[in-house]
Amino acid sequence: MPKHVRLILFTLLLVTFQTTIVSFTSIANIIPDIMLIWIVYIAVTQGQIPATVYGFAIGLLLDLISGQFLGLSALSKTIAGFLAGYFFHENKIEINLANYQFLLFVGIASLAHNLIYFIIFTLGSEVGLITAIFRFGIFSSLYTTFVATIPMFVHSRRPNLR
């Protein structure tokens, strides 16, 4: 099966997982963004252009599913994918996925994503920008980074790294 077909099928599986099951893992109404972890994974393994394209497609799909601010997730996930693409190093793919650097990449991309998302989302609302960034943005980034330890540990246990 071609590489992009596998990526698209796995993306659709993760979107289904994000929109149904992940909401049960909320802590104080904050849920991890597994789609952002997936975008960073694509950035680290495929590069900047695929991560940017997948970020846009995933964000647009999530916007269409949620029915809220159309284009906001597409914009923020596109920028996060673009930024995460700077961490692509063809010779260090397995190393970057299997250690703390992957968590750092997810954390940086998540902070950028949440800053963009909440700055635009709170415009014209009664929720203050500082409240949204600190209450939701930073804690969501920390939760997403914590959940990113799962794929990091999966890759660190792969036999071809030993």
What pLDDT digit, counting tens, does each position of 149-158 carry? 999 998 888 7
DSSP code of residue 149: H
pLDDT digits (tens, 9 = 90+) for 28-83: 888 999 999 999 999 999 999 999 999 999 999 999 998 888 999 999 999 999 99
The stretch 143-154 carries a mean pLDDT of 94
Take residue 89 and report the two structure tokens written for it.
């190093």
pTM, full prediction? 0.91
Q: Is 28 left (phi over 0), alpha (psi -120 to 50) or beta?
A: left
State the Cα–Cα distance between residues 130 and 82, nearest whole angstrom. 25
State the Cα–Cα distance between residues 127 and 51, nearest whole angstrom. 31
Provide the β-strand partners of residue 30.
Answer: 27
3-161, CATH topology level: Arp2/3 complex 21 kDa subunit ARPC3 (1.10.1760)
What are the extents of the domains in the chain? 3-161
State the pLDDT confidence band at 162, using cuts at 50, 70 and 90. very low
Residues written for the chain: 162
Residues 6+ apart with CB under 8 A from 88: 43, 44, 45, 46, 47, 48, 51
